[in-house]
Amino acid sequence: MAEMGLGYGSEYQLLRYLGHHRIELNNVINSNTRLSGEIQWLDFPKDTTRLSLDGEYITIDFLHDKISEEAFAALKSKWKNYWSPSGTQPNWDGVFLHRKDNEEEWIIVEAKAHLGEIKSSTKASLNPNIQNAFIETQNRFGIKNEHWFGEYYQLANRLAFINFLLENNINASLLYIYFINGYEKQQLKKRKTILVESKSVNKQIDWEKAIEQEYIDLGINEKAKKYISNIFIDCK
């Protein structure tokens, strides 16, 4: 897990909006997705191994205090059988509970600040648990695709996690937050701000083109899209 960049990057920008512009962030979610109800963000877990002293939720850990100990232990055991007890475990940039019309839904949040963040590599194709999880997930959404272990593996495993929750009667979906002008690494030099590195996406349409290619590569159809919400926030 990388340390958070100061003043740039998806983790910083999400923290900035949660800390300083939460009402604005919630309004963008309410106005631009089907998630138009009450939003209750969970506090991040603490992690003394990081400079920030804060960590991220991993797999089902966000449910630990929300269900009984017995139910959580049973769910944890099911997760180990479903995924990989020894492999890399998915972690989340944020989690919130959405309430609308007396229904509750857990929203798993992913934040992105540059195009490279939607791509990832993996050796998990050798793992039979994950292979089976992908088959189950594709069956749920009516997808037939051989690219889920490719360069867009991250979205594939996020959908597999949503499938796991749904299979265990836990209502859940994904929210992707795409930051525009969100990755400009700067330094102060002689009281002047110097741009050291920029990997920012400057226009929403550039994000949309990249997302479209990702969906095509993974075979994401309308049924799967019902469990994926996207918003775009210009950090400037």
pLDDT at 3 over 70: no
Residue 5 lies in a domain: no
Contact 154, 130 (CB under 8 A): no
Calpha distance 167→30 (Å, rounded) = 27
Residue whose token pair is 């877990």: 45
Question: For the chain, what is the domain count?
Answer: 1
In a domain, 3, yes or no: no
Residue 231 near residue 29 (C-beta atoms within 8 A): yes
Q: Domain limits at 104?
A: 10-234
Q: Is residue 136 part of a domain?
A: yes
Does residue 74 fall inside a structural domain?
A: yes
In the chain the first and final C-alpha atoms are separated, in Å, by 27
Assigned domain for 199 exists: yes
User: What pLDDT, in 10s, does the model give residues 144-153?
Assistant: 999 999 999 9
2 lies in some domain: no
- 8-state DSSP, 180: E
User: What pLDDT sits at residue 1?
Assistant: 46
71 — phi, psi (to 5°)? -65, -40
Asked whether residue 197 is domain-assigned, the answer is yes
Q: Does some domain include residue 205?
A: yes
pLDDT category at 98 given cuts 50, 70, 90 is very high
- In three-state secondary structure terms, 117 is helix
pLDDT, tens digit, 9 for 90 and up, residues 99-110: 999 999 999 999
211 pLDDT higher than 90 = yes
Tell me: pLDDT of 120 over 80.
yes
Find out whether 112 and 118 touch, Cβ atoms under 8 Å. Answer: yes
